[in-house]
Structure 1
Amino acid sequence: MNTADTRTRHVVVIGGGISGLAAAHRLLEAGAWVTVLEASGRVGGKLYAGEIAGMPVDLGAESMLARRPEAIDLARAVGLDGRLQAPVTTAAALWNRGALTPMPAGHVMGVPGDPQALASVLSPEGLERAGQDRVLEPTPVGDDVAIGAYVAERLGREVVDRLVEPLLGGVYAGDAYRISMRAATPRLFEAVKAHDSLLDGVREVQEEAAAQQRTGPVFMGIEGGMGVLPGAVADAVRARGGEILLDAPVSELTRTAEGWQVRTRDRVLTADGVVLATPARPASQLLAAASPAASAELSEVEYASMALVTMAFRRRDLEGLPGFSGRSGFLVPPVDGRTIKASTFSTRKWAWNDAAAPDLFVLRTSIGRYGEEERLHDDDADLVEVSLRDLGEAAGLAAKPVATEVTRWMGGLPQYPVGHLDRVARVREQLAELPGLRVCGAAYDGVGIPACVASGRRAADEIVESLRTGTPAPGTNRGAGQ
């Protein structure tokens, strides 16, 4: 990037989640003058560092995919290299038909390369149906297809209900029968297009993944929790001269002859460029005047809500319970009708969590998914109680927690149904007509932390290029309160 072209340019980033912070960090590297406006009282969005019983915990996302470099690179760039940690164990279980069984190996987000790998999960009838893939006529995927519908047609619904739903559906808190294969598992989508057999396509992806895994862990965390990352990026932004304003919701975004005008409760900022790093609905509202077409597209993006119930127990109360031995947690097939969708044994999974309180055991459960969110309106005590009931049935836990924390993420996870990527492409095509304006975040390029960081960096790079080739007025009164 040519910093000479951007050092006098003011860019406003609307949204202080990890996407917006990554965009701000990138813009500052290019020499731009940056102001971040965050509507809430903290940065980080769904990366949220908290505590329970006096020890640090994540109250939001707690790990990042290590096979993508963007988030790890950002963590290292802001001084967290020495705090990166791989999980102690990723040996999860499946609470399937009332019993905890080891998570089967040899699959891609629940889609097997060999149905026999699912023998412990499927019924005899389901296992026989899954083996029919190679004798069925090829099923074209076209431009896109719902992964659950496609896998059910090739391998039977039981594979989807028992494994794809808790794995892939759990990532999005969504319905696997609606989730786009092209958007959620793009490499599998391409492999499936190249093979008549779904099993053969999965095996191709597995071979590639196995080669990558030999170079390092699949997932990575940070000592103290993933919620440490946004604070470290925010500190780096401020150290470079960037400004971060909290409790500063944006009420209006207007295109002017000189650039952009951004209005908050108590000030009006003028800017050469704007990165819109909010969820789809507020982005839609802010774009209503500048780009009605993009606004209309974004208004159609749906979100799922969920709650995390974090609990601390006396460690001695869990001794001798085999359900907790050597496991990082368990997933729950929604078809079994349980309330919790998953449980993570944080003390088993993360060395930093284990060391923080030697006498305590911390775990969390997740509740809620797309279309099943009524329970999230229950009182905190009710969500704790139902979590304890399911943990008792699944793992024999009878102890009462010494501390609990319920965190609701209402509208927290964008859904990626069939056609989502086409919608994103239309939004970006419309916004390309507006100099100095780009969007980023989980609604566009993936819900994982690396994807969000990459989305922010992409928006920043495109803003820099737009400013480099554009001619904003040099005398603009940038950032002045009015």
Structure 2
Amino acid sequence: MNRSPLGQSTPDLVVVGGGIAGMLAARRAAGRGASVVIVEAGDRLGGMICRADLGGLPIDIGAEAFATRGGAFAALLHELGMHDDIVEPRALGSWVVTDATAAPMPAGGMLGIPGEAALRDVESRAAVHAAIGDEGIAELERDRTLDPRVGADASDLESLVLARMGPTVLGRLVAPVTRGVYSLDPAELDHRVLIPGLAERVHEHGSLSAAVAALRKSAPPGAAVRTVEGGMHRVVARLEHELAELGVDVRLSTRVASVLEDGSALEQAWRVELEGAGSLFAKRILSTVAVPRSVSARGDDSEGPSGEAVAIGGAAAVPAEVVALLVQAPQLDAHPRGTGVLVGDPSTTIRAKALTHVTAKWAWQEAAADGMHVLRLSYGPHARGGSEPLTHSLSDDETTELARGDAGRLLGTTIEREDVIAMARHVWRIPAPAARIGRSAELRGARDEARRTAGVALAGTWIDGTGLASVIPGVLRAVDELFPEDAQA
């Protein structure tokens, strides 16, 4: 799929990384008349939006939905002529399961932290009690009686929840959410980045549950996520077609070894060294991934020794594997546990961190035959900070057996080996979010370095945040920084 229609050795822009951020950056720049090259280490475009074949059924094995906040992705779909394809999930809710309990996930919270309605409203209290029992209710009551200053010095989410509430709320409600969304424990996440102003709201409203309730009031109504009928991978296919029409040079299976400043010609500010594929010269660089950068390729040692490697950003990754099953299980036709299940503490029998019941969540995804269901399970690292998902060393047969057993326990049923029609799997290395302890400072440093360097901009999940609602505005800003005249036009 390598295409070189331009025949130019010095494009206006080289985009490093062909995920959705790189594709959108190239589209925006090329749409303004810039010559653009995308360099992608993998063998396809789209990044974490990825299609898989599950027994002949096309599914999303990566990102399956987009957050509605800000309207950025909906606006893109409108531009692509796909706005009528937007669909909402079924309003079935999700469940949380431990070794001994299974209950619907209480509504009205934030990151699993219940709002004060959990105690004041009879129906909400009953729902929360089903999930956390008498011990958890006592922890919520305790939060209301504590001095508002308790927990004010906590930086990580676990410390805040333990200080204000307790281990039951943490293990059965909060940890399942953070592990399911970020593949990280609450102790690894900075609540000041995840929910800015949360601690201040505690002081203002008197309790953590009241602070969550106040923040929830300002949240927009309606479904928080939507998707594209037929799968998010259709968006990648449409963008790929547009890039070809715009004449973007896409170079797949091409890894960047380093990016070096180059002063050999007035219009050649950067030299991009490719592993086993020579060099590219570029006027501007937009990096959606971390690449090594030399601070001085001119032989000028005033800024440091020639060839000294300084990263353009960094992308500490969190590993996760998605395992999709197509199963013949008529007992799931009633969607017994909503659109999916999160795993709470304690759980010694379930290895997955979350399950999505895809055919329950999205009506369009229902398999043609009755009783056929698509299930997606996700597996995090072996241990905190691990570099591989716990399924890393398992064969396909072993992975199928693990996922089958976990799916049955999570959905409260039995799925036999002969019920599994097909399996697909994919390992993702997800850039650590800004909310990971210490990560925010790293990202600020990367941004500051880029701002000090003419002709360089950063975009993508690793720098702008998880989700298309964060990535798309970041891409637009980055291209405008590189082409300011066009941005003002």
Q: TM-score, normalised by structure 2?
A: 0.84
What is the CA–CA distance in structure 1 between the aligned matches of 2:479 and 2:154, rounded to whole Å?
29
Q: Which amino acid aligns with 2:325?
A: M
Question: In the superposition, relative to structure 1, how do residues 146 and 90 fare at CA in structure 2: closer, same or farther (>3 Å)?
Answer: farther
Larger deviation: 141-150 or 101-110? 141-150
Confirm whether residue 408 of structure 1 aligns to residue 420 of structure 2.
no
Contact 1:147 1:179 in 2 (8 A): yes
Aligned to 1:393: 409
What is the CA–CA distance in structure 1 between the aligned matches of 2:368 and 2:288, rounded to whole Å?
34
Confirm whether residue 85 of structure 1 aligns to residue 87 of structure 2.
yes
Q: Which amino acid aligns with 2:279?
A: V
What is the CA–CA distance in structure 2 between the aligned matches of 1:141 and 1:9, rounded to whole Å?
53
What is the CA–CA distance in structure 2 between the aligned matches of 1:30 and 1:72, rounded to whole Å?
21
Q: Which amino acid aligns with 1:109?
A: L
Q: Which amino acid aligns with 1:433?
A: R
Aligned to 1:32: 34
- Equivalent position to 2:324, from 294, 310, 326: 310
Larger deviation: 429-438 or 236-245? 236-245
Q: Deviations over 1:44-99 (max 9, x none)?
A: 11111112111110111111111231222222222221221111234211113434
Query: Following TM superposition, by how much is the alpha carbon of 1:100 offset from its aligned partner in structure 2, in angstroms?
Result: 2.7
Aligned to 1:208: 218
- Equivalent position to 2:173, from 146, 156, 163: 163
What is the CA–CA distance in structure 2 between the aligned matches of 1:79 and 1:391, rounded to whole Å?
37
What is the CA–CA distance in structure 1 between the aligned matches of 2:472 and 2:154, rounded to whole Å?
25
Larger deviation: 370-379 or 260-269? 370-379
Q: Which amino acid aligns with 2:23?
A: L
Question: In the superposition, relative to structure 1, how do residues 76 and 326 fare at CA in structure 2: closer, same or farther (>3 Å)?
Answer: farther
Confirm whether residue 106 of structure 1 aligns to residue 125 of structure 2.
no
Contact 2:379 2:390 in 1 (8 A): no
Q: Which amino acid aligns with 1:319?
A: Q
What is the CA–CA distance in structure 1 between the aligned matches of 2:91 and 2:294, rounded to whole Å?
45
Contact 2:40 2:252 in 1 (8 A): yes
**Structure 2 gap segments, 5+ residues each:** 1-9, 120-124, 298-302
Query: Following TM superposition, by how much is the alpha carbon of 1:13 offset from its aligned partner in structure 2, in angstroms?
Result: 0.4
Contact 2:155 2:190 in 1 (8 A): yes
Matches within 5 A, 1:246-261: 246-257=252-263, 258-261=268-271
Larger deviation: 101-110 or 87-96? 87-96
Query: The residue matched to 1:177 in structure 2 has which SS?
Result: helix
Aligned to 1:341: 353
- Equivalent position to 1:95, from 94, 97, 121: 97
Aligned to 2:399: 383
What is the CA–CA distance in structure 2 between the aligned matches of 1:252 and 1:16, rounded to whole Å?
17
Aligned to 2:376: 364
Q: Which amino acid aligns with 1:347?
A: T
Matches within 5 A, 1:52-201: 52-114=54-116, 115-116=118-119, 117=125, 118-139=128-149, 145-186=155-196, 188=198, 191-192=201-202, 194-201=204-211
Contact 1:13 1:34 in 2 (8 A): yes
- Equivalent position to 1:421, from 437, 440, 451: 440
What is the CA–CA distance in structure 2 between the aligned matches of 1:229 and 1:164, rounded to whole Å?
33
Q: Which amino acid aligns with 2:12?
A: H
Query: Following TM superposition, by how much is the alpha carbon of 1:127 offset from its aligned partner in structure 2, in angstroms?
Result: 1.7
Question: In the superposition, relative to structure 1, how do residues 392 and 267 fare at CA in structure 2: closer, same or farther (>3 Å)?
Answer: same
Aligned to 1:319: 331
Query: Following TM superposition, by how much is the alpha carbon of 1:20 offset from its aligned partner in structure 2, in angstroms?
Result: 1.2
Q: Deviations over 1:225-270 (max 9, x none)?
A: 1222222222222222322221121122111123111122324222
Contact 1:311 1:403 in 2 (8 A): yes
Q: Which amino acid aligns with 1:285?
A: P
What is the CA–CA distance in structure 1 between the aligned matches of 2:310 and 2:211, rounded to whole Å?
37
Aligned to 1:273: 284
Q: Deviations over 1:166-214 (max 9, x none)?
A: 11232111111111213323364664465442222211111112xx11x
Aligned to 1:15: 17
Query: Following TM superposition, by how much is the alpha carbon of 1:355 offset from its aligned partner in structure 2, in angstroms?
Result: 5.6
Aligned to 1:457: 476
Contact 1:26 1:461 in 2 (8 A): no
Q: Which amino acid aligns with 1:378?
A: L
Aligned to 1:480: none
Question: In the superposition, relative to structure 1, how do residues 302 and 192 fare at CA in structure 2: closer, same or farther (>3 Å)?
Answer: farther
What is the CA–CA distance in structure 2 between the aligned matches of 1:244 and 1:67, rounded to whole Å?
31
What is the CA–CA distance in structure 2 between the aligned matches of 1:149 and 1:23, rounded to whole Å?
39
Query: The residue matched to 1:260 in structure 2 has which SS?
Result: strand
What is the CA–CA distance in structure 2 between the aligned matches of 1:105 and 1:233, rounded to whole Å?
36
Q: TM-score, normalised by structure 1?
A: 0.85
Q: Which has the higher contact order (CA 8 A, sep 6+)?
A: 1
What is the CA–CA distance in structure 1 between the aligned matches of 2:368 and 2:423, rounded to whole Å?
17
Aligned to 2:5: none
Alignment root-mean-square deviation, CA: 2.9
Question: In the superposition, relative to structure 1, how do residues 272 and 424 fare at CA in structure 2: closer, same or farther (>3 Å)?
Answer: same
Query: The residue matched to 1:132 in structure 2 has which SS?
Result: helix
Query: The residue matched to 2:483 in structure 1 has which SS?
Result: helix
What is the CA–CA distance in structure 2 between the aligned matches of 1:288 and 1:389, rounded to whole Å?
52
Confirm whether residue 436 of structure 1 aligns to residue 447 of structure 2.
no
Query: Following TM superposition, by how much is the alpha carbon of 1:358 offset from its aligned partner in structure 2, in angstroms?
Result: 5.2
Question: In the superposition, relative to structure 1, how do residues 295 and 174 fare at CA in structure 2: closer, same or farther (>3 Å)?
Answer: farther
Contact 2:288 2:462 in 1 (8 A): no
Query: The residue matched to 2:27 in structure 1 has which SS?
Result: helix
Question: In the superposition, relative to structure 1, how do residues 449 and 101 fare at CA in structure 2: closer, same or farther (>3 Å)?
Answer: same
- Equivalent position to 2:365, from 353, 371, 377: 353
